[in-house]
Amino acid sequence: MCKNKIYILLTDTGTLFTRMIKLYTKAPYNHASVAFDHHLIEVYSFGRKTPRNPFIGGFVKENLRAHYFKQARCAIYSCDVTTEQLERMQQFIHKIDRQKHLYSYNLLGLFAITIKKRFIRKNAFFCSQFVATLLQECGIVNYTKEPFFMTPQDLIKSEKFQLVYQGDLENYYKHQDMIVENERQLVM
């Protein structure tokens, strides 16, 4: 059985919106994304569609080298998945991407967590709800909490996740760039 890796990225961008969330969660990271490669090129989540406005959100393919993530702190976790699980995840993502106009950010659901109330909206997710749904629907993790109660920290509580890196996101990329450059020089 072929093993592949996926990555869960938890971030803190330091924006006003994430600082407000942090007041409630008391957690170091308050945004969750899923990536299909260790270079973090294919990274997906539900979040801001425009960096300056946290209230306009939906399904996003995140560019982690963009200004919005420049000062971000992060924790990156890996998880082994089978080829079948990886393909199911990619199909799930591509289906949402093709129909992204039908999806929205579940801001009300995010606030419902604070009062421990179930609030489900069709085709609406907040970041950790999306990642938890993806992981459960594709048979990777079975969480005890329902996805609409999941926080970013809840996502990585499974023994399936291994910490790969923790620190400034920019430093992770510098490290990855050095690895790529070293590999390139070895080939020459």
pLDDT (tens digit, 9 = 90+) per residue, 11-22? Answer: 998 777 777 777
In one-letter notation, the amino acid at residue 102 is L
**Three-class secondary structure of residue 150 per DSSP:** coil
Rounded Cα gap, residues 158 and 162, in angstroms = 9
Q: Is pTM, for the whole model, over 0.85?
A: yes
Q: Which domains does the chain have, with CATH numbers?
A: 3-187 (3.90.1720)
pLDDT of residue 153: 93
Element (H, E) at 92: helix 83-98
Rounded Cα gap, residues 59 and 145, in angstroms = 22
Structure tokens at 36: 């299909």
Rounded Cα gap, residues 41 and 171, in angstroms = 15
Q: Count of alpha carbons within 13 Å of 137, Cβ hemisphere only? A: 14
pLDDT in tens, 50-92: 767 767 889 999 988 887 788 899 999 999 999 999 999 999 9
